[in-house]
Amino acid sequence: MSQLQLSVVLPVFNEAGNLEPLTEDLLGALAEIGRSFEIIFVDDGSTDGSLEVLTRLQKEHDSILVIEFRRNFGQTAALAAGLRCAEGETVITMDADRQNDPRDIGILLNEIDGGKDLACGWRYDRQDGLWLRLLPSRAANWLISTTTDVKLHDYGCTLKAMRKEVAKNLRLYGEMHRFIPAIASWYGVRMSEVKVRHHARTAGVSKYGLSRTFRVLLDLLTVKFLMGYSARPIQLFGSIGLACTLAGGSVLVWLFVERMFFGMALAGRPAVLAGIVLTLVGLQFITVGLLAELQARTYHESQDKPIYEIRHTYGGRESQT
């Protein structure tokens, strides 16, 4: 049996009006590419009949696989399920709202064929509202790029292509699907960003809103911590702890000198309380850092999970990618 070459993963939530034309466009684009493929639809608890449309399409096309969630778990969970199930050597992710164009899959595959591990779409000419979509998106892209040091124009574009080993290494939670490039950068992937088409919605209702902004900010903090300190948490908590302890200790030493050599009273002075609080807070941060170190070692050692990623081994034994 020949190796499956492409897996296309699409999370679906209440997109019944888009699924049939999307499937037609997708099948046509994949046929032109000329590689073996599977299409994985993940129904994320749709309530508008999307699942019925998907099951009918699956009966008509053997290349389609449908995963049904028991309830709505969110886009990140749907993508994670699809990536876990994907068997293709290259995995494509895209939205099911027809705003991504299946014809752009070939552009992303050219990047993968050229040696990239991850190719990200950039919706250069977005067909969305200015105030509720474009401006918040641009602000979020700038913030994420600045915080993670992975510079991209469009973190929110679901249209991506990645090698199978990248897809299988991703661990997604919360709203982290938009941070796939930042998370993948930890593994040292070769990444590129290419301009792709973007179409206005013709059916269905957008699931995005400003309420997601706050969840994204919290997940950004998580990603930043995981990228920088997941294997060395003591360096984060310990640095804060040492700073607080030194500041509090310095205040207390100075107060001690004033009391012993200048006879100044300590009662009623806010500096006394400040020195004690800073010292205790510093010790607590150091303690948290040490406990986090123990937990990090348990995480890595219990799963025999390395703190590095090997891209390729040359010589000595059969090469591995």
What gap in Å lies between CA 92 and CA 26, rounded to an integer? 12
Is it the case that residue 211 has pLDDT exceeding 90? no
Higher-pLDDT residue of 97 and 300 is: 97
What does the radius of gyration of the chain's CA atoms come to, in whole angstroms?
Answer: 25
Domain count, the chain: 2
Q: Which of 96, 119, 89, 95 is nearest to 106 (CA)?
A: 119
Question: Quick one: average pLDDT of 225-249?
Answer: 86
Inside any domain, residue 321: no
Is it the case that residue 173 has pLDDT exceeding 60? yes
pLDDT tens, position by position, 140-168: 888 888 888 899 999 989 999 999 999 99
293 contacts 236 by C-beta, under 8 angstroms: no
Please indicate, yes or no, whether residues 195 and 221 belong to a single structural domain of this protein: yes
Burial of 242 (0-12, 13-18, 19+ CB in 10 A): middle
Please indicate, yes or no, whether residues 72 and 218 belong to a single structural domain of this protein: yes
Please indicate, yes or no, whether residues 62 and 174 belong to a single structural domain of this protein: yes
Percent of all residues in the chain with a pLDDT value above 70, rounded to a whole number: 88
* 0.95 surpassed by pTM: no
Please indicate, yes or no, whether residues 217 and 293 belong to a single structural domain of this protein: no
Residue 153 CA, chain-centre distance (Å), reads: 15
The residue among 176, 197, 229 that closes a domain is 229
The residue among 229, 260, 287 that closes a domain is 229
Judging by DSSP bridges, how do beta strands 160-163 and 118-123 pair with one another? antiparallel
Region label for 2, one of left (φ > 0), alpha (ψ between -120 and 50) or beta (otherwise) = beta
Please indicate, yes or no, whether residues 171 and 245 belong to a single structural domain of this protein: no
Is it the case that residue 193 has pLDDT exceeding 60? yes
95 contacts 126 by C-beta, under 8 angstroms: no
Q: How many CB atoms within 10 Å of residue 27?
A: 17
The DSSP output letter for 151 is -
Inside any domain, residue 314: no
Please indicate, yes or no, whether residues 118 and 241 belong to a single structural domain of this protein: no
Tokens of 54: 């998907």
Domain ranges, residue 31: 6-229
Give whole-number Cα distances, 281 to 256, 275, 277, 321, in Å.
Answer: 20, 10, 6, 47
pLDDT tier, 116 (very low <50, low <70, confident <90, very high otherwise): very high
3-class DSSP state for residue 194? strand
What's 78's domain CATH number?
A: 3.90.550.10
- The helix or strand, by DSSP H or E, that contains position 296, with its residue range, turns out to be helix 270-302
Is it the case that residue 29 has pLDDT exceeding 90? yes
Please indicate, yes or no, whether residues 142 and 275 belong to a single structural domain of this protein: no
